Structure 1
Amino acid sequence: MFSQLTDLDLRLIRVFLAIVDAGGVTPAQATLNVGQSTISTQLATLETRLGYRLCERGRSGFSLTARGAQFVDAARTLLSAIDTFGMQARNVGRKLVGTLGIGMIGHTPVAASARISEAIRRFRTRDESVRFSILVRSPGELEELLLSERIQVGIGYFWHRVPSLEYTEIFAEDQLAYCAKDHPLFAQAGNVTPADAAQHEWAWRSYPLPEAGSSTTPHNVTAVADNMEAVAMLVLSGCHLGYLPEHYAARYLKEGLLAALNPEQMRYRVAFHMVTRARQHRTDIVEAFIDDMQAAHSSRGEEESHTPVSR
């Protein structure tokens, strides 16, 4: 077991985390830029120094042992503390020093992205020395990252509520029902009734969409997907109808590949939220960024498809 941490120990720990993030020794070669035998030797050295096995690797694949999973959390905490200490030591006297991890879902609407960028710009005018770390993940993964404190702010669509997290609506997104140019309803697009659309096969999300309501939720669902790219692929096949974000479908409409079935009747609005841990667990950095998000939304004015940040 470690009695004192050395530079070698820290280097071996970083190698181990790179292996975990890559999903195995072989895929970690590209990240670490060294050969598989060298990585295996370094991993074995770390396990010898610890006195226990961190992972299983071989023909059956890569997997963490129970101790290895616990060590991952401890190692990330250690390296984060080291990075924070180094930043604080270099910036003694600054008001805000540390790291701000922001997680987002993919394909955020342009107007919403502009507001987030504005918030970052405002934050950068503060007396700060903060390193931004921005990830793109699914909503479920964002909540897990928040709970494990690997990020401090999540932005996206969340269909349930974790009691220990706070959800603040920051904008809304309109979803419309579409068909592809090869679909039988394409010629009627714009005037398709919900009853006519219900006779055809649909692609739907694999997670709950409470905002859709019973009036827009199709019953003839023959395909499901967990992201808008996959739904778009199913709709573009001409075999399914499906709902897509209006901003996301715009490029396909421009190219004549998609058409909205009935923009007035077959639509719903999805609220997107900024998620953080409860106020008592938030750092000054997070509080400052929330203030800047509020200011960014206020400065750009009210738009029909967006709501201001409230706290």
Structure 2
Amino acid sequence: MLGQLHDPDLHLLRLFVTVVEAGGFSAAQGVSGLSQPTISQRMAQLEARLGYRLCSRGKRGFHLTEKGLLLLEAARGLLLSIEQFRQQANGVAGRLLGTVRVGMAENQDATVSLQLASAINRFREREESVQLELISAPPAELERLLLEQRLDYAISYFSGNQAAFDYQPLFEERQRLYCGKEHPLFGTLHVTREQLLEADQVRHPYRFLKGGEPFQSRRSMAVAEQIESVLTFILSGRHIGYLPCHCAASWERQGLLRALDPTLDFVVPFTLARHRAQAPGEAQLAFAQDLLAVFG
């Protein structure tokens, strides 16, 4: 049974939470940076310290025991309390300290990058010694990192279905339907709605639909989550698809893309999202204030 709690115990508990959130020992390797034998050995150490079994691995896959589920809840509460204490202690001296981790959707317009740079410059004028981390990823990955509380904030378009998140609006991005130079519709003078409905459209698995928008054709034999992949499908001449206008602009100028019907444009709201259960420290709050001031 666990007596006094020491630093090695905290490391083991953090690893236990990581293994559970990753979905098993093998999946936790990339997240923890440890080999599977090392993870197994350390989990065995934690079980020995506690005096009971935490999880089982077998043909049915990885799953927690009843005691493992109870420990998971307790460990998450403990680690959250430690993080809150660390953030509060860091702010005592009047200087912003710690780390601010921000996720950002990929392929942003140049004006958005400049605004983000302006927010960073504004933040650096404060009395601070803060490490800023910027991570670029697709929206679904940013949601996952926020849910795992591995990011303080994320800037992207989101489904808005996560009750665990708070959202604050930042800016909007216009999306337009395009085809490539080799596509039959590229040289068609007047493209009809029926022709668009019959065209094979790249499907975006994360894109959310509101009020029937964006346009959806009857066929979709291509799926892509990242903008570069969508662009590649469209340039092939076999598919139509939506792209942010700023991403398509240079390809349009080269005569390799054509906007099909601007009346089918739709606007994607980009927001600043954070996990409600993750209490922001002074550094996180200050950086969010600077972001909102610049984009506002």
Give CA-to-partner distance per residue, 1:154-194, whole Å, 9 cap, x none.
Answer: 31112335567543321211211112333222333x85344
Write the distance in 2 (CA, Å) between the matches of 1:52 and 1:202.
54
Query: Hey, what does 1:8 align to over in structure 2?
Result: 8
Work out whether 1:157 is the aligned partner of 2:162. Answer: no
Write the distance in 2 (CA, Å) between the matches of 1:69 and 1:104.
33
Work out whether 1:267 is the aligned partner of 2:265. Answer: yes
Query: What is the 5 A alignment of 1:290-301?
Result: 290-297=288-295
Q: CA deviation at 1:271?
A: 1.7
Answer yes or no: is the 8 Å Cα contact 1:207–1:226 preserved in 2. no
Letter in 1 for 2:7: D
Write the distance in 2 (CA, Å) between the matches of 1:14 and 1:113.
34
Percent identity between the two aligned chains: 37
Query: What is the 5 A alignment of 1:169-180?
Result: 169-180=169-180
Write the distance in 1 (CA, Å) between the matches of 2:71 and 2:254.
51
What TM-score do you get using the length of structure 2 for normalisation? 0.75
Write the distance in 2 (CA, Å) between the matches of 1:158 and 1:30.
25
Q: 1:226 to 1:50 in 2, by over 3 A?
A: farther
Q: 1:55 to 1:275 in 2, by over 3 A?
A: same
3-state SS in 2 of match to 1:12: helix
Letter in 2 for 1:179: C
Write the distance in 2 (CA, Å) between the matches of 1:163 and 1:35.
35
Write the distance in 1 (CA, Å) between the matches of 2:31 and 2:270.
34
Write the distance in 1 (CA, Å) between the matches of 2:7 and 2:111.
46
Answer yes or no: is the 8 Å Cα contact 1:194–1:265 preserved in 2. no
What TM-score do you get using the length of structure 1 for normalisation? 0.72
Write the distance in 2 (CA, Å) between the matches of 1:90 and 1:152.
16
Query: Hey, what does 1:181 align to over in structure 2?
Result: 181
Query: What is the 5 A alignment of 1:204-283?
Result: 204-207=203-206, 209-210=208-209, 214=212, 217-223=215-221, 225=223, 227-229=225-227, 230-250=229-249, 252-253=251-252, 258-262=256-260, 264-276=262-274, 283=281
Query: Hey, what does 1:40 align to over in structure 2?
Result: 40
Query: Hey, what does 2:115 align to over in structure 1?
Result: 115
RMSD: 3.9
Q: 1:48 to 1:254 in 2, by over 3 A?
A: farther
Answer yes or no: is the 8 Å Cα contact 1:146–1:276 preserved in 2. yes
Query: Hey, what does 2:56 align to over in structure 1?
Result: 56
Query: Hey, what does 1:301 align to over in structure 2?
Result: none
Answer yes or no: is the 8 Å Cα contact 2:21–2:148 preserved in 1. no
Write the distance in 1 (CA, Å) between the matches of 2:24 and 2:201.
38
Query: What is the 5 A alignment of 1:11-160?
Result: 11-17=11-17, 19-20=19-20, 24-26=24-26, 36-58=36-58, 60-65=60-65, 67-68=67-68, 71-72=71-72, 74-75=74-75, 78-79=78-79, 81-82=81-82, 92-136=92-136, 139=139, 142=142, 150-160=150-160
Write the distance in 2 (CA, Å) between the matches of 1:23 and 1:162.
20
Answer yes or no: is the 8 Å Cα contact 1:192–1:261 preserved in 2. no
Q: 1:169 to 1:159 in 2, by over 3 A?
A: same
Q: CA deviation at 1:292?
A: 0.8
Answer yes or no: is the 8 Å Cα contact 1:176–1:243 preserved in 2. yes
Give CA-to-partner distance per residue, 1:32-83, whole Å, 9 cap, x none.
Answer: 6765444322211111222333333345544444554554454455446546
- Structure 1 residue ranges without an equivalent (≥5): 298-308
Give CA-to-partner distance per residue, 1:206-244, whole Å, 9 cap, x none.
Answer: 355446x54751341324746244534543443321111
Q: CA deviation at 1:11?
A: 3.4
Q: 1:289 to 1:32 in 2, by over 3 A?
A: closer
Answer yes or no: is the 8 Å Cα contact 1:103–1:153 preserved in 2. yes
3-state SS in 2 of match to 1:198: helix
Letter in 2 for 1:111: T
Write the distance in 1 (CA, Å) between the matches of 2:73 and 2:251.
43
